[in-house]
Amino acid sequence: MYRRGELAEQRGEISDLWRDDLVAFLLGCSLTFEHALIEAGVGVRNVELGTLVPMFISNLLCRPAGRFHGPIVVTMRPIPKAQLQLVGEVCARYPHAHGTPLHIGSPEAIGIADLGRPDYGDPVAIHPDEVPVFWACGVTPQAVVLEARPELMITHEPGIMFLTNLPRDGGGGL
């Protein structure tokens, strides 16, 4: 929970905070498509290691909406060069869960100086036949709230998302 752009509290239950004048948004998560990558034969390093996906604050900017503006947070997964097209095809099936990558290759081109030091999550190794691939991340609201500084914002923690019973395939579920 953020108050005026500052992290004020972390909690698992928010029902006592809810008011009728609040608005809720559910954002898709890039973790949604990881199962599909694995089923297609693409290794997902953070899953293999049992760690959180590395997340970085990029220099890519969100489309402004009134006072809300700021950088896009991206997740990174190392992908073998030979599987880049497959990854794009698989992830395109999940437009509501961040869809296709925002950037492939040079992290410096999107403002990331050191892949070994993610802003959130855990670092993962990149092997010689792999390239870093970056997707939009549901942690972006936290980066934006630091700029907009609204009175109250309740959001998820990196790696701890809202779960639904919507199917992950078909229908473009979260």
Please tell me which residue, 164 or 25, carries the higher pLDDT value. 25
Q: Is the pLDDT assigned to residue 70 strictly greater than 50? A: yes
Q: Please check whether residue 56 lies inside any domain of the structure.
A: yes
Residue 48: which CATH number?
A: 3.30.2040.10
Q: Please check whether residue 172 lies inside any domain of the structure.
A: no
Q: Please check whether residue 6 lies inside any domain of the structure.
A: no
What one-character-per-residue DSSP string does the chain give?
-EETTEE----S--GGG--TT--------GGGGHHHHHHTT---HHHHHT-PPPEEEEEEEPPPBTTB--EEEEEEEEEEGGGHHHHHHHHTT-GGGT-S-SEES-GGGGT---TTS-SBS------TTEEEEEEE-TTHHHHHHHHH--S-B--PBTTB----SS-SSSTT--
What is the residue range of 52's domain?
29-148
Q: Please check whether residue 54 lies inside any domain of the structure.
A: yes
Reported as a single tens digit per residue, the pLDDT across 100-152 is 999 999 999 999 999 999 999 999 999 999 999 999 988 888 788 878 888 88
Q: Please check whether residue 116 lies inside any domain of the structure.
A: yes
Reported as a single tens digit per residue, the pLDDT across 81-98 is 999 999 999 999 988 777
3-7, 69-73, 170-174, range with greatest mean pLDDT:
69-73
pTM: 0.84
Q: Please check whether residue 35 lies inside any domain of the structure.
A: yes
State the total domains in the chain. 1
Average pLDDT rounded to a whole number, residues 6-23: 87
Q: Please check whether residue 105 lies inside any domain of the structure.
A: yes
Q: Please check whether residue 37 lies inside any domain of the structure.
A: yes
